[in-house]
Amino acid sequence: MLKFCQWLGDTPWSVALHESLWAYPIVESVHVLTLCLFLGLAVMLDLRLLGVSFTRMPVSQISRRLLPFTMTGFAVMVISGSLLFYAIPVKTYLNIFFRIKVATLIMAGINAAVFHSTMEKHMSQWENDVKPPLRARWAGGLSLFFWAVIVVAGRLIAYNWWEDPSLH
């Protein structure tokens, strides 16, 4: 994996992006500001799943109607995030916060997949409840927790406190 990252970091486009005066900051800004679109709307759905807000709306109304926007935001996050990794692969791969972020992303993905496979089929039975079933509330709460960890870990990638000095 490290070999692959070294190879990736030596490709001309990676070097160009890393050293660019404008492209890298712009990609970084897009990555951060798209949080509002993707995570902001995901938080609103999680709050509904928890039964704390938007309780007069059926769950499927929120999830389905916000989905195109959340998904667009997610696509932008993935593309801009991949580009940021591509620009600085070795240091990022070795960064502890990057690893925490990737592990938590996987957990957030599993949480979402479990929710969809277990709760979505019979959603019509409970989606009008002010307080959704326990499993749905767990899914919402875990999602909020995982994404908070992802944001914090993502921010801290920039602070490589335990970096191997030989990388400089």
Partner 1 sequence: MLPVLQFFTWCESSGLGNAIRESKWLFPVIECFHLLGLSVIGGAVIIVNLRLFGLGVSTQPVAQLWREALPYLRWSLLVMIVSGLLLFTSEATKLYYHGAFWMKMGSLLLAIVFTFTVQRKVALKDEARVGPVWGKLVAIVSLILWTGVGVGGRWIGFS
Mapped onto helix, strand or coil, the DSSP state of residue 168 is coil
* Non-local CB neighbours of 129 within 8 Å, separated by 6+ positions: 51
User: Judged by CB under 8 A, does residue 161 bind partner 1?
Assistant: yes
Per the CB < 8 A criterion, the answer to whether 31 and 81 are in contact is yes
Closest approach, Cβ 3 to partner 1, in A, equals 31
User: Judged by CB under 8 A, does residue 29 bind partner 1?
Assistant: yes
How far lies 38's CA from each of 31, 69, 70, 72, 141, in Å? 10, 7, 5, 8, 17
User: Judged by CB under 8 A, does residue 162 bind partner 1?
Assistant: no
How far lies 145's CA from each of 12, 50, 148, 166, in Å? 38, 12, 5, 35
Closest approach, Cβ 165 to partner 1, in A, equals 16
- Which range in 59-67, 79-87, 125-133, 134-142 contacts partner 1 by CB under 8 A? 59-67
Task: Output 6 or 53, the one with its CB closest to partner 1.
Answer: 53
Binding mask 7-26 for partner 1 (x = CB under 8 A): ------------------x-
| Structure tokens that stand for 29 in this block | 């800004």
Task: Output 8 or 151, the one with its CB closest to partner 1.
Answer: 151
Gap between the Cα atoms of 10 and 56, Å rounded: 54
Binding site for partner 1 (CB under 8 A): 25, 28-29, 32-33, 35-37, 39-44, 47, 53-54, 56-57, 61-62, 65-66, 69, 147-148, 151-152, 155-156, 158-159, 161
